[in-house]
């Protein structure tokens, strides 16, 4: 469970969760599960972008503090700026990843899927037509006549016989 207070513990948990997801998605999930995974990844990539931006801001804040490289404060400040710039660049890439995952998730959200064809039938074959209804349910060939529609002399098919 995320702590929302301890970034080290939450980062470790995110790492383990993503390792588990990578392992679990080795076999393709069904369509509903894939949609749910996309939704979670959409939120996760957005959160990753935010985390990278916040870490970049933190490293910018380390410039001019006690950050040293080989005892050199100037080199330490330069390294902090480099790290911050790399994290900002990674955040931009994460934004693009999040946008692509969001687009895939949106597309999947309004896509209808059909079941796979039954075994022994290829996808391009048309399904067999439904069987005819049993004789008791088939419509009769003669039109039903009510009590007032008795055949009379005018009902001879148009022939004057």
pLDDT digits (tens, 9 = 90+) for 69-105: 888 888 888 999 999 999 999 999 999 999 999 999 8
Query: What is the sign of the dihedral through the CA atoms of 23, 27, 33 and 34?
Result: positive
User: Residue 26 has which token pair?
Assistant: 């080795």
Q: What is the pLDDT of residues 125-152, one digit of tens each?
A: 666 788 887 777 656 656 555 555 555 5
Determine whether 128 is exposed, middle or buried from the number of CB atoms within 10 Å of its CB (0-12, 13-18, 19+). exposed
pLDDT of residue 101: 94
DSSP bridge partners of 72: 69
DSSP bridge partners of 69: 72
What is the distance between the terminal CA atoms of the chain, rounded to a whole angstrom? 93
Greatest mean pLDDT range, 27-31, 72-76, 113-117, 149-153: 72-76
pTM for this predicted structure = 0.65
Cβ contacts of residue 56 below 8 Å, gap of 6+? 84, 85, 87, 88, 91
Contact 60, 80 (CB under 8 A): yes
Each residue of 7-33: b (16+ CB within 10 Å) or e? eeeeeeeeeeeeeeeeeeeeeeeeeee
């Amino acid at each position: 469970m995320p702590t929302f207070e301890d970034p080290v513990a939450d980062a470790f948990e995110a790492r383990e969760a993503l390792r588990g997801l990578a392992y679990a998605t080795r076999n393709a999930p069904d369509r509903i599960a894939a949609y749910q995974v996309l939704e979670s990844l959409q939120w996760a990539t957005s959160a990753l972008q935010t985390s990278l931006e916040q870490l970049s801001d933190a490293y910018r804040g380390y410039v001019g503090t006690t950050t040293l490289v080989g005892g050199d404060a100037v080199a330490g400040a330069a390294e902090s700026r480099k790290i911050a710039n790399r994290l900002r660049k990674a955040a931009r890439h994460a934004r693009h990843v999040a946008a692509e995952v969001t687009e895939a998730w949106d597309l999947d959200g309004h896509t209808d899927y059909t079941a796979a064809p039954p075994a022994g039938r290829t996808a391009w074959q048309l399904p067999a037509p439904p069987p005819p209804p049993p004789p008791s349910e088939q419509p009769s060939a003669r039109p039903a006549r009510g009590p007032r529609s008795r055949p009379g002399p005018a009902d001879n098919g148009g022939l004057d016989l």
